[in-house]
Amino acid sequence: MVIERPWKRWVYFYIPLTLFIIGTLFPFYWMLITAIRPDAELYRSWRAVNNTPFWTLHPTLEHFRDLFEKTTFPYWLWNTFFIAVVSTGISLFCGLLAGYALARLKFPMAGTLGTSIFVTYLVPPTLLFIPLADIIRNLQLGNTPWALILTYPTFLIPFCTWLLMGYFKTIPKELEECARIDGATRFGAMTRIIFPIAVPGILSAGIFAFTLSWNEFIYALVFLSSPERKTVPVGVVSEMIRGDIYFWGQLMAGALLGSIPVALVYSFFVEYYVTGLTGSVKG
Amino acid sequence: MKKPIAGGTNGAVVVALPHPRTRHSRGLTRFLESERLLAALLLTPTVLLLGMFIAYPFVSGVWLSLSDTSVGNPGHFVGLHNFVKAWDDSIFREAFGNTVFYTFWATIFKLVLGMWLALLLNRSFRGKRLVRASMLLPFIIPTVLSTFAWRWMFDPTFSVLNWLLYRTGFIVTKIPFLSDGVYGMWCAIVVNTWRGMPFFAITLLAGLQTINPDLHEAASLDGANGWKRFWHVTWPLLKPVTLVVVVFSIIQTFSDFQLIYVLTGGGPANSTHLLATYAYQIGVATGLLGEGAAISLFMLPVLFIVVWVQLRYLRRLEA
C-alpha cells in the first residue's frame, strides 16, 4: 500500500470517519436519551442555563411504562413480527421456486418473465396504494393482517427471486447432473441438492425481506384502522400523537423498542444482510 | 411430498442412493420431468401473487385515474379530466417540483457522501467490522421511527440542533427547521441522505473490494496521487455498480412517502408535499380515489425512463 504520513492519516481518514460515525449514530443516541429523560427535563427552554441536553442525571423508565399502559404497543410489536415473518416466508417460498425455474429451466417466455419480475421489483408501493386499497376493500381484507401478508410479497418476491436466481447461477450445473445420473428426479435434484446448497442465499434473502417488511409503512397505514391491529410504525405515528401534542418521551421509547427487534436480527446476521443488500442491486 | 433437507451437509449422500419414495408417485414424477411443466408449476405462485397484487392494481389504478371514483361512489369515466385538473392545481405543481428537487439533491448527496464513506471503509483499521455494521443502522431501522427522532431534533421549541448552534455561536435566533417550507425541504433532504447514504456506501464498498489493489500500486508507482488514482483507476471500474445504485435510489427517493409524512406532513401550507404524500392526501385522506390515482400515476413517466435505462444497461452487460 501507499505509505502515509500521520497527519495525513488524521486529516484524510480519522477525522472524516469520526464525523461520519457521529452523524450516523447521533439520532439513535438522541432517541435513547430522550426515552429515559423525565418530562421536566425534556421540555426545558433551549436557552436555560442548567440545560444539559446530552445526558441526564435522572434517568427514568416512566415513558416505557406509559407506552405499555396507555397504548397497545405490545400488540403492535406482535403484529409487526407476525406479518413480517409470514410474508417473508411466503416470499421466500415463491422466490425460491421462481428463482430456480428462471436460473435453471428452459421454457418459452423465460426471458420475458424474468424481465417482468425485475420490472415489478422496481415498481414502488406508492404507485399502487390507492387502487390496492380499493381491491383490499373489495376482498373484505381491510383491517386484517392478511391485507399486509398478501401485499408485502409484491415487493419481497421480486427481490427474493432476483437474489436467489443469482445465487442458483453460481452453483455448478454438474452437481445436479450427477444427482440425476444417480437416479434422482429433476424435482428431487432441486430440493435435495440445490436448495440445501442455497441456504446462505436463502438466509440473506430472508433477513433482507424481514427488515423490509418491518420497515413498510404506507400499506400498513392505508389498510389498517383499529389501534390494536396496527404495526409499530403506523401505531407510533397515529396513536401516540394526541391532537397536536407530541409525547416525545413516549414516542422515542416506542421508536427505540420498535427498532430493537430488527436491529437484533440484523446484528446477528450482518454478513448475510450485506450479501442481500449488495445482491439486491447486482445485475 | 419431499421436503428440502434443512442442514444440507448430508444432502449429497442421501441422493447418491435411489430414493425409495420416488417410485410411488410415478405419474407425478414423470410430470415433473418435463422442464416446461415443472417451470410452469414453480412459477405459478409468484405469477399469481404478482398478477393479483401488482398487475391488476396497476390496471385498476389506470382505470381509477380516468374516472371520478371516490369512497362510496363507483364513479364514471371522465377521460383525462383528473390529469388536467392536477396539472392546473398549484399545490400539485409544487409537489411535482419538490419531488424532482428532493430526488436530485438527495441522490447527489447520497452518492458523494456514500462514495466517500465507502473509500474510508475500504481501508484497513481496527474495529472495521463494527464500524461498517453500525454505519448501516440508519438503513435498517424503520424509517418512520428514525424520522421521528429527526423531527424531535428539529423541534421548533426544543431543538437540540438549535441549542448546539446557539451555544457554539453560529446563530443568535432559532432556525425554523420545519416551520418554513424551504428549510423544511432541505431538512427532508438531510434526513433522506442520512438514511440512504449507508446503502450507497455498503454497495459501493462491495464494488471497491473487487478492484485489484495491484492497479493502485501500479498507478502510484507511475506517480499518480490519491485523487488521480480515484479518478483514473477506481471510478471507471466502479461506474457500473454506481449506475445501478443510483437508479435504485432515484426510484426510492422519487416515490418516497414515509419520510415527508412524518417529518412535515406536507406542511407548512402544503409547501413540502411530494407526489406520494399529495396523492395520499387527495386519494385517501380526502377520499377522491380517482384524483389520487391520477396524481400517483404522474410518477410513472419518470420511473419508466429510469427503469428503461436500467434494463438497457443490463442488456448491454449481458451482451
Interface test with chain B among A127, A136, A208, by most B beta carbons within 10 Å:
A127
- Partner A contacted by B26 (CB < 8 A): no
- Partner B contacted by A5 (CB < 8 A): no
Q: Please, what sign has the CA dihedral across residues A223, A226, A227, A231? A: negative
Cα gap A269→A262, rounded to integer Å? 11
For residue range A101-115, list pLDDT tens digits in order: 999 888 888 888 988
Percent of chain A at pLDDT > 90 equals: 52
Q: Answer yes or no: do A127 and B166 touch at CB < 8 A.
A: no
Task: Give Cα separations from A257 to A32, A233, A239, A264, B51 (angstroms).
Answer: 10, 11, 16, 11, 36
Cα gap B296→B245, rounded to integer Å? 23
- Which chain B residues contact residue A252 at CB under 8 A? 148-149, 152
DSSP per-residue string spanning B205-254: HHHHTTS-HHHHHHHHHTT--HHHHIIIIIHHHHHHHHHHHHHHHHHHHH
For residue range A82-104, list pLDDT tens digits in order: 999 999 999 999 999 999 999 98
- Going from N- to C-terminal start, the domains of chain A cover 1-36, 64-281
Contact B8, A197 (CB under 8 A): yes
DSSP single-letter state for residue B23: G
Confidence at residue A118, expressed as pLDDT on a 0 to 100 scale = 84
pLDDT band at B16 (very low <50, low <70, confident <90, very high): very low
pLDDT band at B5 (very low <50, low <70, confident <90, very high): very low
Cα gap B154→B160, rounded to integer Å? 7
**Identity of the highest mean pLDDT range in B8-12, B237-241, B252-256:** B252-256
Q: Considering only residues 42 to 101 of chain A, which have any Cβ-Cβ distance to chain B shorter than 8 Å? A: 42-47, 51, 53, 90, 93-95, 97-98, 100-101
| Lookup result for grid cell 443490463 | B314
Residues with Cβ within 8 Å of A206's Cβ and at least 6 positions away in sequence, in order, are A88, A92
Percent of chain B at pLDDT > 90 equals: 54
- Which chain B residues contact residue A215 at CB under 8 A? 142-143
Is the pLDDT confidence value at B318 over 70? no
Mean pLDDT computed over B293-310: 90
A12-16, A31-35, B45-49, B166-170, range with the lowest pLDDT: B166-170
Residues with Cβ within 8 Å of B64's Cβ and at least 6 positions away in sequence, in order, are A130, A131, A134, B75, B289, B290, B293, B294
pLDDT band at A2 (very low <50, low <70, confident <90, very high): low
- Partner A contacted by B79 (CB < 8 A): no
Q: If you measure CA to CA, which chain A residue comes closest to B215? A: A1
pTM for the structure as a whole = 0.89
Is the pLDDT confidence value at B61 over 80? yes
Q: Answer yes or no: do A157 and B307 touch at CB < 8 A.
A: no
Nearest CB to A124: which of B45, B155, B255?
A: B255
Mean pLDDT computed over A209-220: 94
Contact B65, B290 (CB under 8 A): yes
* Cβ count within 10 A of residue A9: 13
Contact A158, A97 (CB under 8 A): no
Q: Which amino acid makes up residue A185?
A: T
DSSP single-letter state for residue B20: G
Level-2 CATH architecture, domain B91-318:
Orthogonal Bundle (1.10)
Q: If you measure CA to CA, which chain B residue comes closest to A110? A: B39
Backbone angles phi, psi at A245, to 5 degrees: -95, 125
B255, three cell numbers? 416515490
Label each residue of chain A as H, E or C.
CCCCCHHHHHHHHHHHHHHHHHHHHHHHHHHHHHHCCCHHHHCCCCCCCCCCCCCCCCCCCHHHHHHHHHCCHHHHHHHHHHHHHHHHHHHHHHHHHHHHHHHHCCCCCHHHHHHHHHHHHCCCHHHHHHHHHHHHHHCCCCCCHHHHHHHCHHHHHHHHHHHHHHHHHHCCHHHHHHHHHCCCCHHHHHHHHHHHHCHHHHHHHHHHHHHHHHHCCHHHHHHCCCHHHCCHHHHHHHHCEECCEECHHHHHHHHHHHHHHHHHHHHHCHHHHHHHHHHHHCC
Contact B65, A128 (CB under 8 A): no
B54, three cell numbers? 401488482
For residue range A233-244, list pLDDT tens digits in order: 999 988 887 777
CA distance A117 to chain B (A): 8
Cα gap A154→A164, rounded to integer Å? 16
Cis-peptide into A158, omega within 30 deg:
no
Backbone angles phi, psi at B256, to 5 degrees: -60, 145
A197-201, B1-5, B41-45, B108-112, range with the lowest pLDDT: B1-5
The ipTM assigned to this model is 0.92
Give the HSE-up count for residue A48: Cα atoms under 13 Å, Cβ half-sphere.
Answer: 15
pLDDT band at B7 (very low <50, low <70, confident <90, very high): very low
Scanning chain B, the segments in alpha helix (DSSP H) are: 11-16, 26-33, 35-50, 56-65, 81-88, 90-121, 128-135, 137-140, 143-153, 160-167, 181-208, 213-221, 226-229, 235-254, 258-263, 275-280, 289-297, 300-318
Q: Considering only residues 132 to 161 of chain A, which have any Cβ-Cβ distance to chain B shorter than 8 Å? A: 132-135, 150-151, 153-154, 157-158, 161
Nearest CB to B42: which of A98, A128, A132?
A: A98
CA distance A152 to chain B (A): 9
Confidence at residue B25, expressed as pLDDT on a 0 to 100 scale = 56
- Partner A contacted by B167 (CB < 8 A): no
Interface test with chain A among B148, B159, B282, by most A beta carbons within 10 Å:
B148
Task: Give Cα separations from B309 to A35, B45, B47, B204, B247 (angstroms).
Answer: 45, 29, 25, 20, 8
- Decide the pairing of beta strands A241-242 and A245-246: antiparallel
Nearest CB to A151: which of B22, B53, B166?
A: B53
DSSP single-letter state for residue B19: P
Q: Answer yes or no: do B202 and A277 touch at CB < 8 A.
A: yes
Helix pair angle (A110-121, A153-170), 10° resolution: 130
- Partner B contacted by A29 (CB < 8 A): no
| Lookup result for grid cell 382505470 | B63
Q: Please, what sign has the CA dihedral across residues B277, B279, B280, B281? A: positive
DSSP single-letter state for residue B181: H
- Partner B contacted by A28 (CB < 8 A): yes
For residue range A139-150, list pLDDT tens digits in order: 999 899 999 999
* Cβ count within 10 A of residue A254: 31
- Going from N- to C-terminal start, the domains of chain B cover 91-318
- Fold (CATH) for A64-281: MetI-like fold (1.10.3720)
B239, three cell numbers? 461506474
Cα gap A235→A227, rounded to integer Å? 7
Mean pLDDT computed over A17-22: 95
Backbone angles phi, psi at B70, to 5 degrees: -135, 175
Confidence at residue B2, expressed as pLDDT on a 0 to 100 scale = 42
